[in-house]
C-alpha cells in the first residue's frame, strides 16, 4: 500500500487564504477537540486534531500558545485546499 505525500502551502500563501482557526468539539467523538480552519470567505478548509497540534507545538508559555498554534497550522495547510 503506497502512501501519498502531503504537500503544504507556503506560510505566506496560507496566511492569505486562512480567515479563522476555530477550536470546536468533534461531532463524531465525545470529549475530543479539533481546530477547524476557515477561509476568509468562511469556507471550511480543513481541520486538525487539537491534542496532536498541542503535542507538536510542545510546551509554550500561556501568553504565546495561541500564536504558536496558529504558526504551526499555517505551516501545515495541505495544498489540496485549493481543490475545495
Q: What are the pLDDT digits (tens) for 13-63?
A: 999 999 999 999 988 888 899 999 999 999 999 999 999 999 999 999 999
Asked whether the predicted pLDDT for residue 1 surpasses 60, the reply is no
Is 18 in a helix, a strand, or coil?
strand
Q: Is residue 63 within 8 Å of 3, Cβ to Cβ?
A: no
- Residue-level pLDDT at 2: 54
- Do the domain assignments include residue 26? yes
- Do the domain assignments include residue 4? no
- Do the domain assignments include residue 33? yes
Instruction: Give the count of domains, the chain.
Output: 1
Beta strands in the chain (DSSP E): 18-25, 33-39, 44-49
Could you list the residue range(s) of the whole structural domain that residue 42 is in? 11-83
Distance CA 84, CA 40 (A): 14
CA triple 18-34-24, angle to 5 deg:
85
- Residue-level pLDDT at 28: 86
Amino acid at each position: 500500500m503506497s502512501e501519498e505525500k502531503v504537500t503544504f502551502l507556503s506560510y505566506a500563501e496560507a496566511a492569505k487564504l486562512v480567515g479563522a482557526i476555530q477550536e470546536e468539539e468533534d461531532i463524531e467523538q465525545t470529549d475530543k477537540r479539533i481546530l477547524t480552519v476557515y477561509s476568509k470567505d468562511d469556507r471550511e478548509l480543513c481541520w486538525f486534531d487539537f491534542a496532536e497540534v498541542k503535542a507538536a507545538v510542545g510546551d509554550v508559555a500561556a501568553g504565546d500558545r495561541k500564536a504558536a498554534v496558529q504558526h504551526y497550522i499555517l505551516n501545515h495547510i495541505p495544498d489540496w485546499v485549493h481543490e475545495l
